[in-house]
Structure 1
């Protein structure tokens, strides 16, 4: 394979963008493991009292990821996130005003490989969420297991990430004054296995828990589609029924998260690596679906609202797909 190296005369701004994305990829893929390693090394060394004290703090602070987290305005405004956003670049588009007296549940689609659009738009201030939606505070929900990792948990909470547990979502949506936004990547780990360039398959037909939560707390549902999310990486072919896909699905059930075999470009060359391609991401926030609070919704009521959500999600995609070079005959595939 011929390797295409990056030219030497790349502008400084682009180099800084690459560095910003490199640290993000490292944080997503390896930082948790490194933090656990540091914890063990300290525990076995002369500074054993430091991890012991941290373990005590962890015990006391255990429920914080389920009670709104501990965000840092300073970290969310780091300059590195502006370079991160400009690398692709990532844009946030508003289609309708959202009343801050209500709470909202944003359904984010698709998952992609590393959910770059969701992170940039809802865990940093780089794309202008506060200006577009004044009075709203977004909380991006991720797998609870990440909050058991020492040190790493504190870093990710500082960006606004919180647990995807029912208790956590309930805490966000039950805020009496309104203005909270629970952002849930509906397709979850399962959907990442379908994250191929050009892919429009969403794992959503059996996922109705978010609808039940919206009904229980009277949170308005808002479909969000991130155009370009699946274009950032290439994934090893894994059609349903193949040995690889079967293995990936089994591992997902055991571990709770998926292991897509993906690749893209490198830092100093464009031929291979785990850095995403420079492909634009356009995250479009749809109009809200009004939801009346129902503490004990029936299965029929959940199904009816779920169907309404699917219809609004499809309408959102169809109305905007031509703006982002998706052929008119292409449509979403729900599974």
Structure 2
């Protein structure tokens, strides 16, 4: 089988814009008949100093920003009872201010460097996906895309798809290469899904919605696929997958809802495996599973994690990310799919994950690893 590879990190900056025709990107694609050479997909590439600093502060700021709305109320209450609580609150707010200041400075710098507008467009979601922060993610993590010839244009130019990515890890950084999902395989905007609560966090919701995120609900996904006729991306193992990040374990055995949606809409499912996602952060998992159970109940992660230099809630280790796609699973349009039909295509999706992992694991330097399904 023929495979194609695009080095996103090495893409010239002048080609990273909504006006560039996809042919310009495809001219930079490397192809191979039998897959890629061992250890060829796991190379950490040099990164500009300003990009690295921006990502160190920017990702830490983003991570803290996700946590702060939930942490502030108990911190404020703690100040009423102890001086320690007041000290912790001052420290957190001071740390947040420093991250904000550094991020703000570099935001202005990269807006000019990449010739980007200073704010999101209210009408052009596709253009919004070319954020300078996500461009720097690609460079910081040496991101590459690999896909089979069965997904190559023009195979699905006129049909929306569902990209089903695993593993989640602490944060699936590879999917933040948003423009590539919306241009490489067809010209349909790709909407990634997230927990509904994320789209209610002040400030963050503006940017998430501005680049096309939708709630991970069946109605929103179905409307996007059928009424808008646009692509959808989903991290299939979700919050549960964060607690499996100590190993290559796919929490997908019970994740059949997306298959039912695909059958009702008659759209293909694309298995996607993100090599490197489980190595970006060190997750602290309690032995009793309390945090996991509570996180699943609230649909939000409550587990502590450490990044580069053992930085609490900090930026990830500079591990190369390789996003590998498998053969699309073509689903027939079935208005009311039976459980047998759902199980059949879910089995094909699981098989797709296994195949894509086995096909590329040696090229990523993971020849001795096995993908386990839970």
1:27 counterpart residue number: 62
- CA distance in 2: counterparts of 1:81 and 1:325, whole angstroms: 25
2:297 to 227, 233, 254: 254
1:332 matched to 2:359? The reply is no
2:177 counterpart residue number: 121
1:86 matched to 2:143? The reply is no
Q: TM-score, normalised by structure 2?
A: 0.68
Contact 2:243–2:285 (CA under 8 A) maintained in structure 1: no
Contact 2:245–2:278 (CA under 8 A) maintained in structure 1: yes
1:16 counterpart residue number: 51
Residues 193-225 of structure 1: per-residue CA shift (max 9 Å, x gap): 1112xx111111111001100001001011001
Q: TM-score, normalised by structure 1?
A: 0.75
- CA distance in 1: counterparts of 2:158 and 2:47, whole angstroms: 44
Residues 32-75 of structure 1: per-residue CA shift (max 9 Å, x gap): 746998xxxxxxxxxxxxxxxxxxxxxxxxxxxxxxx9763443
- CA distance in 1: counterparts of 2:137 and 2:49, whole angstroms: 10
Matched residues, number:
275
- Identify unmatched segments of 5+ residues in structure 1: 1-10, 38-68
Distance 1:203 1:271, change over 3 A: closer
2:338 to 298, 301, 311: 298
More off after superposition, 154-163 vs 15-24:
15-24
Contact 1:117–1:283 (CA under 8 A) maintained in structure 2: yes
Distance 1:284 1:202, change over 3 A: same
Residues 99-138 of structure 1: per-residue CA shift (max 9 Å, x gap): 12112111101001011111x223xx3xx44552232321
How far 1:183 moved relative to its partner? 0.7
Contact 2:283–2:304 (CA under 8 A) maintained in structure 1: yes
1:134 matched to 2:177? The reply is no
RMSD, aligned CA: 2.5
Distance 1:234 1:35, change over 3 A: closer
More off after superposition, 97-106 vs 223-232:
97-106
- Look up the SS of the partner of 2:255 in the other structure: coil
- CA distance in 2: counterparts of 1:186 and 1:236, whole angstroms: 22
Contact 2:272–2:324 (CA under 8 A) maintained in structure 1: yes
Distance 1:173 1:129, change over 3 A: closer
2:360 counterpart residue number: 320
How far 1:186 moved relative to its partner? 0.6
- Look up the SS of the partner of 1:146 in the other structure: helix
Contact 1:35–1:151 (CA under 8 A) maintained in structure 2: no
